[in-house]
Amino acid sequence: MIKRAILSVGLAFSFILVGCQNSEPSETNEPSETPSSSTNDKSETGSETQDSTLPIEDTEYGRGAESDGEDTNAQEAPTRMISDDANSIIIYFSRSGNTQNLARMIYNEVGGDMLELTVTDPYPSDYRQAVERANEERDNQEYPKINTDIPDLSQYDTVYLGYQTWAMTLSNPMISFLMGHGSNLSGKTIYPFSTNAGYGEGNTIERIEELAPDASVATSFSIQDEDLLDNQDQVTTWLNEHQSQRVN
């Protein structure tokens, strides 16, 4: 397993809604959008096609950040760019937009396919309400239903997996995804990337290893949501290190 170099920032608050913005529901915050149709043709992401450079947008961050009303996509369909020939895919969940921005930064550097996860019952826009729901789900081990048509993952060698840190662990939607599809990642290399509200990535890597035991989990990248837009060079450095490792 490749050594874990974790680029994270700070510590803070017991319910870190990482990912799009806060530790828990910050990213919990993005209600899922309607499931996108599953076709193997290149699909569009709002007005963006697979060959486009995806925009990086201003977002709220930190504890208290709200979602934009439909997880990350109140104004557009969930991101879904699937092709027949890509050997890498970016799969992510984002509540308030921060993890989506990080996913887009990665896409703009490495390309490949891209899939945004959504949940059947979107989390509340209000941060505290989202935190309460996420805590209850975790306490009862009743994770949200994924509302995304997952494509055949067999064509991919590399999976960039994006999430937020909630209460020092994986956000609930990412747990749901891995519980249902972790076995489909066998033999693949997972590059975890995440946003947090100051506490870092917690035990998220250990959880990924538990839920996708036959995958190889590479060096992760985690950053405090409020630092992301000013530190895109860190994302590029992380990706370049991976590229050099793969070449060597």
| Number of residues written out for the chain | 248
Average pLDDT over residues 143-148: 94
Average pLDDT over residues 61-89: 72
pLDDT tens digit sequence for 193-222: 999 988 899 999 999 999 999 999 999 999
pLDDT tens digit sequence for 80-134: 999 999 999 999 999 888 899 999 999 999 999 999 999 999 888 888 888 899 9
Q: In the chain, what percentage of residues exceed pLDDT 90?
A: 56
Question: Does pTM surpass 0.75?
Answer: yes
Instruction: Judge residue 209's burial from the number of C-beta atoms within 10 Å of its C-beta, 0-12 exposed, 13-18 middle, 19 or more buried.
Output: middle
CA dihedral 126, 128, 132, 134 (to 10 degrees): 70
- Residue spans of the domains in the chain: they are 25-36+59-216+224-247
Residue 6 reports pLDDT greater than 60: no
Q: Return the CATH architecture of domain 25-36+59-216+224-247.
A: 3-Layer(aba) Sandwich (3.40)
Q: How confident is the model at residue 61 (pLDDT cuts 50, 70, 90)?
A: low
CA distance 70 to 124: 9
- Measure Cα distances from 91 to 65, 81, 166, 248 in Å: 22, 10, 18, 25
Average pLDDT over residues 64-68: 53
Residue 238 reports pLDDT greater than 90: yes
Specify whether the CB–CB gap between 65 and 101 falls below 8 A.
Answer: no
Residue 58 reports pLDDT greater than 80: no
pLDDT of residue 39: 35
Task: Determine the 3-state secondary structure of 121 from DSSP.
Answer: coil
CA distance 35 to 117: 8
Residue 237 reports pLDDT greater than 70: yes
